[in-house]
Amino acid sequence: MMAEGAAHTALHHALRGPRPIRTRLVLTVAGFGALAVATCVLAPLVGSSSINLRRALDSSIPFAANVDAQILFIARLPRVLAGALVGAALASSGVVFQALLRNPLATPFTLGVSAGASLGAMLVIILGGTIAVGPWSPVPLASLAGAGLAAAIVYALANGPRRVMSTTVLLLAGVTLNAFFSALIVFVQYLADFASVYRATRWLMGDLDVGGFAPILAALPLVAVAALIFMRLPAALNLMGVDPDSASSRGVDVVRAQRWAFFSASLATSAAVALAGPIGFIGIVVPHLVRLLVGVDHRIVLPASALFGASFLVLCDLLARTLLAPVEIPVGVVTAIIGGPFFLWLLVRDA
Amino acid sequence: MRGLLGVVLALLIALGSGCRNAAPPTPAKAQRIVSLVPAVTEMLFAIGAGPQVIGVSSFDHFPPEVERLPKVGALIDPDTERILSLRPDLVVVYGSQTDTEARFKKAGIQTFNYRHDVTDAIRGTFDTITALGAATNHDAQARAVVEQMTTGLDRIRMRVAGLPRPRTMLVIGRQPGTLQGIYVAGGSGFLDEMLETAGGQNVFEDFKKEAAQPSSETLLRRAPDVLLELRSPQPAGDYPAGDLGVWNTLASIPAVRDHRVHVIVGDFVVVPGPRIAEGVEAIARTLHPDAFK
Amino acid sequence: MASSSSTYLVAHEVSYAYPRRGRSGTAHAVDGVSLAVPRGSFTGLLGPNGCGKTTLLKLMAGVLRPESGTVTLEGRVLADMPRRTAARHLAVVPQDTHPAFDYTSLEIVLMGRHPHLRPTQLEGPGDLAIAYESLEATGTLHLATRPFTSLSGGERQRVVIASALAQQPDILLLDEPTASLDLGYQLEVASLLRRLSRDRNVTMVMATHDLNLAASMCDALALLRGGRLLRHGPTSEVLTTGTVRELYDVEADVHFHQAAGHLTVTPVRRVG
């Protein structure tokens, strides 16, 4: 009898309570997905100059002579796609790092991956380097190597045999690495000649104008691998986000989940930074905005952040290249101007 | 007794000449010169003050003699201690190095303030050479150098006069192997003036800055007829073979379409010094090859 | 040794030392403890701070793997069981829960369904019903959509217990479930646990330092000191003036309290 009564109450509540997760997930992915698609389709149509869309799509004009087509397909489209890829990668790895560090204020750059990437890029820009591997040109390749090195160091420091990764050690290692690599970056720039310093500074501001599809295709497999791992993490992240010990007693291999989370988020961040330089604030602003809209369940927040991150960065880049046309604002500046005050507001609100 | 007399006489003469001549003894003083500015180093050697140069910047490479001289830093890292240890009587500093300059003034060392002109840059170069001539007591040679440069530039102007001026883009920086991080010469500064003198028309003439960072879209819109990449020889080997091929992505640019993408390597194209005429000639030859046959 | 049907969760000579960086030869938190928990019982793990009761609880829950010895569940070695399988039988209620994110009570309770779902499966209506029912059993149904962090201490503990109930476990392991609660909430949670133990036939193992709480709820007690098991048996036999003195170096009066209906311990003075 008690069971019947309970079932009644449960049904009653089910009708009045929050929508079941399956529905919410579908609605959220559909909604943010539509936004992402719309952004990526419309953004190439807008730019610092106006193009004749009909001319651009006119296949009777030879491509090499069709300036409108060149602008649309070579100058703008790769840029939008790079923005979508980098935005999705940074936003989703932001979510994962926040879960790993059990801190909503963590960013993809907290653990030093970006500093390592920047140092790698600096060294090649300033000392010169011609090693290229496949579609990876020297600077992105060195950036990737630097990021990998930083991640490896943090991993080695925070990992112990059969031990759960201590978030304290992770944070300390990351902060230390950030400071150390940043100091090295300044030092290397100090020794360089003016032209190299210009180029280095420019790289540090972030640049989605990657000049073609090749760099995007180079970064894509890495982000795809990270995404595949991301798909298996959310339930574990939820459980660990409540209590790591309870998570363990509910069937989560916490050590393994942490390692996979660290690896995949570092991989996505490394690829994004290698492709377009360090673009800040995506990894913190997007997850927070998404949480405000859809709640904190990682099974929804993670895919939603990836999709919204794509739209967000594409829109920021749109502003960057049109606001003061023909002068271009570096996209990292736009994300900072939007993200900085937002971040401060978050801190004040949570205090 | 004799020694003491000699000292007293020397003192009297020194005091005496001091009393008689109230004018600043500047021209006679500049015997030990340290230069933090590569362009000025070149100028000093050109006007015959080379033997008086005892220290140069870390980025000095011309003329070859400077390789044997002590290096004392540059714009952001001048080694004040090292400079002082060389006991100079004239130090050439950048206009923005106000702190460094103050330090030398305090030590009683004369400074020559190099101002980098953005408007009328070539004339500015002449003025600097003339001023250096006065400061180092090589006025006559300075005048000669300026005349030589003027004549050289005029000669080039005559050759290209009346010829159609191709819309040119001067690329002064680019990340090797990619189209990222492109810097071009804007509508002011010595590079722009060199281009104009060489008979070219800067497609970024409306950018009233020395340098600009255009996006791919802007490059496609500006559609220059000639693309000129200027590179300094250091660091060497930065650009792999076939590197210019990256421009083929922007195939609709006339310069790319018509195979008018060129590279000029050399310090003389990026240093606003006495070799400007050489630089202008190199650019002019590239823009108007027929005029120089 | 009783038959396997009555001894349900058994620790055989388990030992564990927390790994310390760069230091070797640390004392064991749990040293050679053997403990058999019969089905349907309510066992208390008692002892002073640092006696190893929390560590023993984690070992018996499978959260920690013993260095030596084994923990078995119905005769099967816990460490060899897949985590999900073990989680369908064992649930843990930690002392404090501080979520890093703003989950609602319902979301937290639903997480208890995790061991019953396939890796990427989402909860369905059945799981939702179990969650609501668990909330109701702990009297927290009205808090379902409230953020967990906005609840009082007592409410939080009850939601966490509901979350453990949603796992539909056979055994519930609780680590100091009332330690951070006010007196009123302590009694509330205590009576809730007693009721759940009786009505749902859930075996309970509770680590606590509160002697009176243990006396009011547990039918068996295991006394620990310095990582070693001192005594284990029915409460009435184990909880005596002598054992209290042994465990806490305290002279105490232990007697059956008519009104409370269970043994009570009143400390008098320190000795030794």
Nearest to A265 by CA among A222, A206, A236, A221: A222
Tell how far CA C141 is from the center of its chain: 23
Instruction: Round the average pLDDT of chain C to a whole number and report it.
Output: 88
- Does the CB of A321 have a partner CB in chain B at under 8 Å? yes
**Structural Rg of chain C based on CA atoms:** 19
Q: Give the model confidence (pLDDT) of A178-226 as tens digits.
A: 999 999 998 888 877 766 787 888 888 899 988 789 899 999 999 999 9
Neighbours of chain B (3+ CB pairs under 8 A): A
Q: Is the pLDDT of residue A266 over 90?
A: yes
Q: Give the model confidence (pLDDT) of B35-70 as tens digits.
A: 999 899 999 999 999 999 999 998 888 888 899 999
Neighbours of chain C (3+ CB pairs under 8 A): A
The mean pLDDT of B110-125, rounded to a whole number, is: 88
The mean pLDDT of C261-269, rounded to a whole number, is: 90
With touching defined as 3+ CB pairs under 8 A, do chains A and C touch?
yes
Q: How far apart are the first and last CA of chain B?
A: 76
CB A195 within 8 A of CB B232: yes
C123·A160 Cβ contact <8 A: no
Give A198's contacts in chain B (Cβ within 8 Å): 173, 183
Say what angle helices B276-287 and B139-160 make with each other, to 10 degrees: 10
Residues A107-140 as b/e (b if ≥16 CB within 10 A, e otherwise) read bbbbbbbbbbbbbbbbbbbbebbeeeeebbbbbb
Q: Is the pLDDT of residue B24 over 70?
A: no
Q: How many CB pairs under 8 A join A and B?
A: 108
- pLDDT range class, residue A279, cuts 50, 70, 90: very high
Q: Å from B225 to nearest chain A CA?
A: 14
Give A232's contacts in chain C (Cβ within 8 Å): 119-120
Q: What are phi and psi of C251, to 5 degrees?
A: -80, 120
Give dist(CA A54, CA A59) in Å, integer: 10
B240·A195 Cβ contact <8 A: no
- pLDDT range class, residue C7, cuts 50, 70, 90: low
Tell how far CA C153 is from the center of its chain: 18
Q: Which two tokens stand for residue A266?
A: 């570092």
CB C136 within 8 A of CB A6: yes
Q: Give the model confidence (pLDDT) of A28-43 as tens digits.
A: 999 999 999 999 999 9
Q: Residues 122-181, chain A: which have Cβ within 8 Å of B? A: 125, 127-128, 130, 132, 137-139
Virtual torsion, Cα A300, A301, A303, A308, nearest 10 deg: 130
Provide the 3-class DSSP secondary structure of residue A113.
helix
Q: Give the model confidence (pLDDT) of B155-204 as tens digits.
A: 999 999 999 999 999 998 888 778 888 889 999 988 999 999 999 999 99
DSSP notation for C58-126: HHHHTSS--SEEEEEETTEEGGGS-HHHHHTTEEEE-S----SS--BHHHHHHGGGGGGS-TTPPP-HH
Q: Å from A128 to nearest chain B CA?
A: 5
Neighbours of C32 (CB within 10 A): 14
Q: Give pLDDT, residue B28.
A: 55
Reported as half-sphere exposure (CB side, CA atoms, 13 A), residue C144 has a value of 23
The count of residues in chain A is 351
Q: Give the model confidence (pLDDT) of A138-162 as tens digits.
A: 889 999 999 999 999 999 888 866 6
Q: Give pLDDT, residue C49.
A: 84
Provide the 3-class DSSP secondary structure of residue B42.
helix
Q: Is the pLDDT of residue A26 over 60?
A: yes
Give C137's contacts in chain A (Cβ within 8 Å): 6
Give dist(CA A156, CA A168) in Å, integer: 14
- pLDDT range class, residue B293, cuts 50, 70, 90: confident
Give dist(CA A79, CA A67) in Å, integer: 17
- Cα separations in angstroms, C75 against B86, B244, C8, C11: 88, 74, 8, 11
Give A241's contacts in chain C (Cβ within 8 Å): 99-101, 103
CA angle B257, B262, B266 (to 5 degrees): 170
- Does the CB of B31 have a partner CB in chain A at under 8 Å? no
A163·C94 Cβ contact <8 A: no
- pLDDT range class, residue C160, cuts 50, 70, 90: very high
The mean pLDDT of C113-118, rounded to a whole number, is: 94
Give the ranges where B56-185 is alpha helix by DSSP (H): 80-85, 98-106, 121-135, 139-160
- Closest residue in C to A255 (Cα–Cα): C63
* The pairing of beta strand C76-77 with beta strand C68-73: antiparallel
- pLDDT range class, residue B266, cuts 50, 70, 90: confident
Q: Which two tokens stand for residue C59?
A: 């070992």
CB C130 within 8 A of CB C113: yes
Three-state helix/strand/coil letters over B199-225: CCEECCCCCCCCEECCCHHHHHHHCCC
Taken in order A232, A236, A238, A240, the sign of the CA dihedral is negative
Q: Give pLDDT, residue C120.
A: 84
Q: Give pLDDT, residue B29.
A: 66
- Closest residue in A to B216 (Cα–Cα): A75
- pLDDT range class, residue A3, cuts 50, 70, 90: low
C107·A103 Cβ contact <8 A: no
Q: Give pLDDT, residue C21.
A: 58
Q: Is the pLDDT of residue B214 over 60?
A: yes
Q: Give pLDDT, residue A6.
A: 56
Q: Give pLDDT, residue B6.
A: 35
Residues ≥6 apart with Cβ < 8 Å to C154: C181, C182, C184, C185, C188, C189
The mean pLDDT of C74-79, rounded to a whole number, is: 89
The ipTM estimated for the assembled molecules is: 0.88
Give dist(CA C67, CA C30) in Å, integer: 10
C125·A102 Cβ contact <8 A: no
The mean pLDDT of A100-122, rounded to a whole number, is: 93
Give dist(CA A138, CA A203) in Å, integer: 13
pTM: 0.85
Q: Which two tokens stand for residue C42?
A: 């309510």
The mean pLDDT of A235-257, rounded to a whole number, is: 93
- Cα separations in angstroms, A281 against A89, A91, A284, A331: 13, 9, 5, 11
The mean pLDDT of A173-179, rounded to a whole number, is: 92
Reported as half-sphere exposure (CB side, CA atoms, 13 A), residue B218 has a value of 22
For residue C145, give the DSSP letter: T
Q: Å from C271 to nearest chain A CA?
A: 37
Q: Which two tokens stand for residue A332?
A: 């990292």
Give B216's contacts in chain A (Cβ within 8 Å): 74-75, 79, 209, 211
Q: Give pLDDT, residue C26.
A: 65
Give B234's contacts in chain A (Cβ within 8 Å): 193
Q: Å from B155 to nearest chain A CA?
A: 31
The mean pLDDT of B2-21, rounded to a whole number, is: 36
Give the ranges where chain A is alpha helix by DSSP (H): 2-16, 21-42, 53-56, 67-70, 77-100, 113-127, 138-158, 167-191, 194-204, 214-230, 234-242, 244-249, 254-276, 282-294, 298-322, 331-350
- Does the CB of A25 have a partner CB in chain C at under 8 Å? yes
Q: Give pLDDT, residue A167.
A: 85
Give A273's contacts in chain B (Cβ within 8 Å): none
- Does the CB of A231 have a partner CB in chain C at under 8 Å? yes
The mean pLDDT of B57-85, rounded to a whole number, is: 87
